[in-house]
Structure 1
Amino acid sequence: MISGPLTREEEYDFRQLLKQMKNLNKAEQSSKRIVRQSTYQYEGHDITSWKCTEYLYKKEPCPLPTKARGLFTSMQDSEEVIVARGYDKFFNISEVSQTKWPWIEKNTHGPYELTVKENGCLILAASLDGGKTLLVTSKHALNLPHAEVGMKWLQQHLNQAGKTPEEFAAFLHENNATAVFELCDDSFEEHILEYPERMRGLYLHGINRNSVELDTWPSADVTKVAERFGFRVTEFFTFESVDEGREFADKVRNDHMLDGRAIEGFVVRCQINGSDKPFMFKIKYDEPYLMFREWREVTKRILNDKPYRITYPLSKQYVAWVKGQIRDNADDFIDYNKNKGIIAARKGFLEYYKSHGGNESDVYDQESAGTKVLLLPIATICCGKTTIALALSKLFGFGHVQNDDMPKKNRRNRFHSMILNQFDGHNFVFADRNNHFLEQRKTLTAVVRKEFVNCRIVCLYWSHEGISKTDIFKMATKRMAGRGENHQTLTPELAPNFLEIIRDFQKDFQPLDLESSDDNLIEDVIELNPMDDAKVNLQKVIDDLCNMFPDMLKRPSDAEISEALESATTYVPTVRQSLGGKSKKTPAFFALVPVDVDIKQWLAQLLETNTSEDWDLCKEMLYSGHHDRPPHITLVHNASTKDSRAKTIYKGYMKLPNNQIISERITAKCHADYLVCNGSSMALRIKSIITKDNKLLPSSVVRRSATLEDGEVSLVTFNSVPHITLSCGKGIKGYQSNEMLLTVFGPEDADSPLDCPDGWSVIPVSLSFNAAFERFQN
C-alpha cells in the first residue's frame, strides 16, 4: 500500500491515460461508445467523470485505457489530476476466464481477504481544494440523488464520531485517496436484502489511492479508518490459502446466513503471483435472490396491468397472495414502483407461507424452470449471422426465429410473438435479424423481458469498430454474390437494387450503446469481426457461451462443430419474398402498427380491474364486437383521396420506398389518452405521434413544432382525430369511429372532451407505445 502524492512516473502515466480518454471521447460516432466524458459543477469546480463501455471490461485483452470503474478528474492548482477513483472492474466467479477457480489457484496468492458484499449502491468520497472541500459522488455522476443521500449520511456519521467533513477531506488529501462506500438505506431505496434502521448508513468498503494503477488498502487498515471517523465497518475474513477461503464461502452459501443474517456474497482481495499488484473478484449468491427479484418485477407488472410469466414454482403462490394484497391493501403498494414496500411485501408473503405449512428451507431450495437466454445479433448484411444461428441450433438445439421468414404484413409483431413462443420449448432463442436499429433492439428486449423477467440477453455484436465502410461493403457484396439466390429476400434476382440496399444498411447501422435506454437491457456481449469467416466467429460464440453458461452448455468437439457449420452453409431457405420494386397493387391505406404492446390484451386487463358502468359498455363492445384488421393508426386511406388534402398526404406516403425494411426505419412514439365507446364503435384516441426527422419522410407527411425536441417531428394523419379502432358493432364499419371521435373532440382535436352524449363512455387512460409504418392492401 502506497499513500501520498504520485511519483513522476505515475504522473506521466496519468497524462498518457488522460490523452487516450480524451481522444476516444472525441472519436467518430461508431467509436464514441468506448469512453464517455461528462462534466459537472461542484463547489466552484469542473469535475469530469470518465465512463467506459461496460461490456468491454470483459474482453480479453481489455481494449480500454483503464479498468477503473468510477474515475473523476479536475483541475487542482492549475493541473488536472485524479480526484476520485473507484475499484478496477471485478467479476463474479466463472464470469470471465480470470475468475475461474483453476486460474485463481494458479495465478494468485494470499492473504485472501473476504469482505462482506453489502446490498446497496456505491458511493465515492474524495477531497478538493487541498483537503478543504469534501466531494461525494455516485459511481459515475454527481447529480444523482444517491450522491445527495450519501453526503447526508457521511455528515451524520462524522458528527456522531465528533469529526467534521473538513477533517475527513484533509485525511483523504493527505493520503491522495478515495473512500469507497456502500450506501444501504431502505428509507431511500430498497434493494433485495433488508436493512433495518439500526443497520442503515455508509459501509466503508475500501480506500483507493488516486493513481492510474489500482492501489487499494488492506481491509484491516480500512476498518481502522471506519472506526476513527464513525462509519459502518464492513466485516471481513482473512485466509492464507484459496481453498480455505472457498470452503468458508461455500459454508455460508449452504447455511444461507452469516452470523444470523443473509448476505449477498463476498468481495475477495488477493495479489497476483510474483508481484504486490492487487487482484479482486466476487463470490455472489444467486439464490434465493433471483427468485426475490422475480417477485419484485412480477408485482410491478401486476400493478401496471402488464402481462408476466414466472419461472420458480413458489412464485405461483406468491402471485396469488400478492394479487389479494393489492386488492385488499392497495395503500401498501402506492410507492412500490418507486422501490418502496418491496421488502415488506416479500416478508408478508413468507410469513403467510410459513403459517400455511411452508418450510423456510423450501425457499432456499427453489430451482428456476430454467434460465432463459435471448441471443440478440447486431449485424449488417452478409456477416454470417444466420449461418451461426443454424449451426448453434444443430449443436445445442437452440430455438431459431428468422425475421426473413416472416410475411411483410405486421412483420415485427409476428417476429416478437414467434420468439416468445420458441421460449416455451427452448432455454436459448436466436433472434435472427440484423437488429441494426436501436429501436428494434429496444422493442424486442422489452417484449422478452416483460414475459421473462430474469431472461438473460446476450448480444452477438458484429462491430464496425476500426473497419472502413469500403471494406465492409466489399465484403458484403462479395458474400452476396457467393450465395447467389440462396436467401429469402435479398438476392440479385429478388432485389436488383441490392447494392443500394447494402449501402443503406451500412449507413443506418447504429452501434451498440449499453448506456442508452435502447440497449440497457443487454447484459453480455460477444464481439465479432464482420470480416472474419463464419468458422472463426462460430468458434468464438461457442467458446464464450460455454464460458457464460457452464452448467447449461458443454463445448462440442471440433468434428461436431465442422459438421454443424457444413450443414448451415448448405441450408436452402423455403421462403422466398420480393424485397425491392413497387407493389403491383396500390395500397388501400398507410398505417402505424403497435410493436411493443398487445392493445387488446392491455384493454382486457383494464376491463378486469374496472367495474363502473362506463367500463361495462366497453367490456360488452370488446367481447361482442368485431374488427378484422390488427390494431393500427390509419395515416391516410386511398378511399379518401378525392379530398385534396388526403391526396397530398397519400402521395407523400407513396413516395416512401416499398420494401420490407422500410417499416424498420420509420417508427413512432405514440400516446393514447382516451378510450371512447358509444355502443357501436370503440376506439383509443391517439394524442401524439412523434418520430425522428428522417430524410425518407417527405415534407407533406410531417409537422414540425417548437414543443418537440430537436430532431423530432409529428407524422401527419388525414383523420382529424388520430385513433385506433378497437371494436365495431354489427353492420358498423371501422371508419365510423371517426364520426364518434369528432363528436367528442371536435375537428380541431381538442386536448380534453368537448362533448359526451348520454350513454357514451369517454374514459381517460394512459398508454405509451412504439409503432411501425405499414402498407395495407385490401
Structure 2
Amino acid sequence: MTPSAAAGSTCSSSSKSNPLPHPTMTSSSTGSNAGTSSNITATSLVEALLSFGAQDEVDQTRTQLGSQPDHDQEHDHNQDQDRDELSVVGSSSTSSAKEEPKQTPSDLSTSLQQLKLASTSTAASPSTATPKSIRNLLHSSLHTVHTSDPSTTHHITSWKMADYAYKRDPCPFPTRARGLFTENVDPNGTSRAGEQYRIVARGYDKFFNVGEVSWTEWTNIPKQSTAPYELTLKSNGCIIFIAALTPRHILVTSKHSIGPLPAFNSTNAEGRDEEEERISHSQRGEYWLKRHLEKVGKTQEMLAQELWSHNLTAVAELCDDSFEEHVLAYPTHLTGLHLHGLNLNEPILQTLPSSYVTLFAQKWGFIPTPYTLFPSVMAVQTYCQTVQSLGGIEQPNGKIVPVEGFVIRGVQRGGVSRMVEFMDEDGVKRLEKANEAFFWKVKYDEPYLMYREWRELTRKLLMMYEKEREARSTVVGAGAGAGRKGREDPIVLDNVNLNKVKNEQTKLYLWWIKREIEKDYTKFESWKKGRGIIKTREEFLKWRNGDEAKVVVKSLAKGKNRMGLLGKEEEEVDEEEARREYDRWLIAPVAVQGCGKTALGLALSDLFGFAHIQSDDFHMKKSGPHFLKAVKAALQADQVVYADKNNHQIKLRSDLSSLALSLSPSHKVQTIALLYSIDSPTLQRDKLHALCSSRIVERGDRHQTLRAGLLHEAAIWQFLGQWEAFDPVLNPGDGAFDVVVQMKAEWGREEAIREVVKALKRVGVPGCKELAGEGEVDEGKLKKAVERGMTWEPKIKKAVDEVKVKKEKIAVRKTKEANLPPRYFGVAFKVELEGLVEKAFEGREVEVWTELKRVKRVELNPHITLVHEKEVQLVEGGNPEMTAEKKKHWERFANHLKGKEEDDEALKVKVVLGPKIVWDSRVLSVQVSSIVPSSTEAKDGSVLDLDGCLGKDPVAHLTVGTIRSDVRPVEGKWILDGWIEGEKQTKEGGDINFIEIEPVECEGTLAGLR
C-alpha cells in the first residue's frame, strides 16, 4: 500500500477528536519473565530470526521481485502475495530453515537469551536448493516503501513461518507470532531506544483448536492460563493489521503481505481486463479503513499518531462478501473491519483487554467485536457445550443463530505484564494491566464445517471441469473429427464416487452442484474471484425443499448413487411408479417410551383393524430382524400395518423405508411417520421425561419389558440420549417417508387418536378415508378404543430377575463413580419452584419473573452447591486456609457417599428456603437459610456432617432462573452476596430487589453432581 501523508495542520485539531483514554507503558512487569523481559528487544528477536538455521549451515536464498512471489496461505482465492504496491521497490524474499532447533520455545525470553546471535546478518548468494523437509519453515519478504516524503524510504520485512511447525513441542521458531513485520531503522533517527530493528506490526501468537495440541486440552488449559477469560465470536473473514509506519503514516497489511497483487494479463468472460479487478486484502483493508475513519470524522494521520505514540498494532477482521466470500454471510451493517485486538509491538505477545479494544473501535469507527467475560475455564467449556447442544447462540427473541465458533483469550501463567496508564473521559488517570495472553479456539462442525466442505467440493469439481475442457481443446487442434466430437459432447463429471460421502446432506449437495456445473459452467466464473459461494449455497438450500429434491433423495435412499442426471429410462420408470396407486400403508411412530405410541397403535387396531406389530413381543437377543420380518409379512397380508417400535434412530427408520421399497413391484407402499418431537418448544426435554415416566408408572407392569420402578427413568434418559433427529433432507431413510405427521407427547389419548385419524383421512388410508368430515370417529367406539389401551395386558412378558436388577443398579452407580467423577458436591431436591415464587409475587408485577416464565427458564431440577472442584485447588493469590477447609468438605462428602444408593436415608437432608427472594433484571434466586441432616446415623454407622460447609456466615442460594443461556446461574449467588453487603445494584443487571417470604422446608439428597 501507499502510506497516506497527512494534510497538514487542517487535521491536527485535538479538540474535535474526543480522544480515547491514552495508554502509557510503565516499566513494571510481573511473572516468571520479570527482570529478563527488558532484555528481549525487537533487535534481538530479528537477529534470532536471521540466524535461524545458521547452525545447520542452511543457506539463505534471495530472489528478485517477480521470480517466485510467496502466497498468503490463509486464503484459497484472491490470495495476497508478498509484493508491495506501486510505491514499493526493490522487494525480495528470503527463506531459511532449521529442522531441529535447540531453543526452548515455550519461554520466549529463555529462547532469546540462550541463542548465540550473530553480530551481523547478510544475505548469502543463491545456492543449491535445501532439502524440502527444512527448506520452507521460515520465509521472509523485504519491501521497500516510499511515503509522500521523497527523502524517506522504509524497508519492511515480513516474516512467515510454516503453520505445521508451530505444533511442534518445542517450537522450532524464536517466536510464535503469526504475522510479523519489522523494519531496519537508523539508530539516530526514528528508532526506539537506539535499536537497529523495530517491530512495525505484530499479530497474535499462533493458537489452536481445543484438543488440537496438548496444551489446548480442556484439562491442560487451566495449567497454562488464569482468568479473566474473554470469549469473542470467531470472525469469518481474513486478518488485517493496521500500524503506524511513522507518526504521520499508516501501514495496512494482511497476515503476511503488503500492497497489490502482481500483474496478471488476462481477460474475463465479459472481455474486461482482469488485472483491474485483482485487489489484494491489504488494499481492501485500507479502503475500509478510510471509510471507517470518515464516518467518525477522523484521518489516517490522527490514527497513525495514536498507534505510534503507544506502539500498538490494531488487529481486525476484513469481512466483505462483495470482495471475497468465505462461508457465513455478513449483512451490510456488519461489512467492513471488525476490530478484535490491540497488540503491543513487542517480541512477547501482550494484548490489551477487550474492554479497551471496544472503546478504541467506537472512537475510530471500526466495527466492535462483542465479548463475554468468564471467571474460569470450566465456565467457558460449559458455555461452549451449551452453544453446541443448541446449534448456535440463543438471541433475546429466542432464535438460535449458528456460529463458526469462538476465540478465547486468558492470561498466560507466569507471563510478563505491563501496567497501562490511561485517562478516562473525566480526566482521571487509571491503571490497567496488559498481560501476556494465552489464546485458544472452539470450532463447531455444523453448519460451518459442512458449508466449508461444500465450498471445497465445488472448487474441486470446477477444477475437474476446467481440466477436461482444456484437454478437449487440445484434442480439437488434433483433427477436425476430434474437434467436432469435443464440441458436441457435453462434459460429464463421472469420476466422483458418492458412496465415499458420509454426510447425507453433502451427498445431496454434491449431486446437485455437479448437475449445475454440467448444465452451465459459466455461471460459476465468479468463484475464481472468491465470490458467488454464498449465492450458490442459498440456491441449493432453496432447491432441496422442492419436489425434484424429494425424488433425488428417494433415489439416493434406494442406493442409486450414480452422479449423473437421472437418465431417461430412470425418469420413465419413476413416472410409471408415480402413476400407480398405493395399495399398502406402513405407519411408523418415531418416539421414546411413554409418548403413547403403543396405546395409539392398540386404538387404531381396535377402530380400523390395522395390523399391529410390536417390537417388544420379540424377546430374543437380536430382535430387530425378527421384527422387520413380521412387519413385511403383515404388509403382504394386510393393507395397513402399524410398526410399533421407538424408531428413534436413523438406521431403524431406514430399515423400515427400505423394507417398504422391497415390496415393489408386487405392492406400492406409502410410508407414514408419526413424529413425536423431543425438543418441542411447548415441552422441554426434562418435562417430556417427567411426563413419559409418569405414564410408565401409571401403567405399572402392563408392558412386556419396561416396568415401573425398575430403572424406567434411566431407560427413558438412555433413549433420549440415543435420539437421532428426523431430517428428510439430511437422512435419505427419513426422506423416503412419504408423509410425516407431527405429534405431541402431551396430547391425551383421545386427542392423539383424533389428530392421527384426521391426518390418515387426508392421506387416504383405508378405514379413515371413508369417515365423515375431517375424520370424525364415533364417540362410543373412540371411548372403547381408549379404554382398551388403558386396560390392555401383553400376552407375553419378559421375566424380570429382581436380583439382576439390583446388581444392574449397583453397576450403574459404580460406572458413574468410575467414569464421571463429580464436579461438585451439593444437595439435589424436589421443590415446585414456580409455585413457590408465584405465590410470593402474588399481586406484584416483577419483570424478570414474567420473562423467566415466558422463555421457560425456571429451574426444574434445583440444587445447592456445597463445594466445587475448583474450590479445592489452590490458585495463585488464593486463600490457603479456605482452600484447605474446602478440601476437607470434599473428602468428607466423597467418603460419606461411598457404597450408598441414591435412596439411602443417610444422604437425606432438610433444606429451609427463605426468608429472602432476591433479583435483578437478569437473574432471580432464593436464599437458603438452613441445611441439616435428616438422619443422625447411616446403616454403616457413618454420620453426615454439614457443619461449616456454608462458611462462617452461612448464606447459600438457589438460582431460580436466568433470562438467557449466556447469563450464568452463579449470578444468583452474586446478587444475594451483594444484597447482604448492602449493595444497591449489580454491574450487569441493575437494581437489586428483594422480598421476604415465609420459610419453606423441603427434603433433599446429598449427591456428587456434574
Tell me the TM-score normalised to structure 1 length: 0.44
Looking at CA atoms only, which structure, 1 or 2, has the larger radius of gyration?
A: 2
Higher relative contact order (CA 8 A, sep 6+): 1
